[in-house]
Each structure stands twice: as structure tokens, then as C-alpha cells.
Amino acid sequence: MGEERDASGAVAAPVRVTAIASLTPLEELNDDPFLVDSRSQHAMCARWAAEHGYVVARELLVRGLRTDHSALWDGVRPGVDLFVAPSRRVLERALSSVEEFTAECARRGVRVETVGRAEPSYDARMKAHVHRRLSMPTAGYDGR
């Protein structure tokens, strides 16, 4: 799994996964905690990649990113690498246009996947944990 072969049967370069998470302001924590919790979004993508025999090589944390932005395509190999996001909803927040992005991926020969699992439910304690982690990064708090 995760090992691709070329037309001759030789082992091709390993698939590199770029995980896309949405950059959502902390002010939206009460209304939409999963979109604010980028760590959980990236963790969901990492689990998906591991289940498919892949490894996340890059994590993007973006909001409204244009399809032609170099951050998306830097080092992406057509036919080998892929993008994954927890859900279409995350892609809609992270990118300026999901339709343009998927069309560009198809044009470049790059797969786009969504994890497709239910988002976690956040209780008050979990929201407080996310709030502390995001509001105190320079104080040395790493969220654990």
C-alpha cells in the first residue's frame, strides 16, 4: 500500500500527501470549533494518509487561497502526489474556489481526496483546550 508502480512495474516515487486545513479565526470557536481547530483537521488527514499507506509531507493552513497560488503547487508531482482535506466544507473555507482547484488538479494530474468522516463534537472543555492552544502559542503552551 502507498507504493505506486510505473508502467514497467518498477516502484515509482512514493506518494506525498499535502494536507489542507482551514485557517479560521479564533473568534469563530463557539460557532464552528472544527474549522478553528486546525490541529484536529491535520490529524484527521494524517490518519487518512496512514490508513492508505501514505505519509503527509506538507501541511497547509490557509483561508481563501487562490488556485494559482504557488504555495499549493510547490514541489507537487503530477500523477504521484495528492491533496487531502477533512471535508469539502474545509476546502470551501481554505480555498477561494473548490471547483477551480479540483479542475486545476485534474488538469495537472493530481488527486484530491476528502477524509469523509464525521467531525468531532466539541464540548466546553475541548473548546477551552483549543482556545488556550491558539491564544497562547508564544507563551510556550503547545496544547498538551
Domain edges within the chain: 16-136
- pLDDT reported for residue 139: 56
Cα dihedral: 51, 67, 91, 143 (round 10): 80
pTM of the model: 0.85
- Domain 16-136 falls in which CATH fold? Rossmann fold (3.40.50)
User: What pLDDT digit, counting tens, does each position of 2-48 carry?
Assistant: 555 555 666 667 889 999 999 999 999 999 999 999 999 999 999 99
Residue the block writes with cell 488527514: 45
Q: What angle do CA 13, 76, 107 make, to 5 degrees?
A: 110
Given pLDDT bands bounded at 50, 70 and 90, which one contains residue 138? low
- pLDDT reported for residue 14: 84
* Rounded Cα distance, 84 and 111, in Å: 8
Lowest-confidence segment of 56-70, 96-110, 119-133 by average pLDDT? 119-133
- pLDDT reported for residue 3: 55
- Between 79 and 106, the more confident residue is 106
The C-alpha cell at 33 is 470549533
Q: Using alpha carbons only, how large is the chain's radius of gyration in Å? A: 16
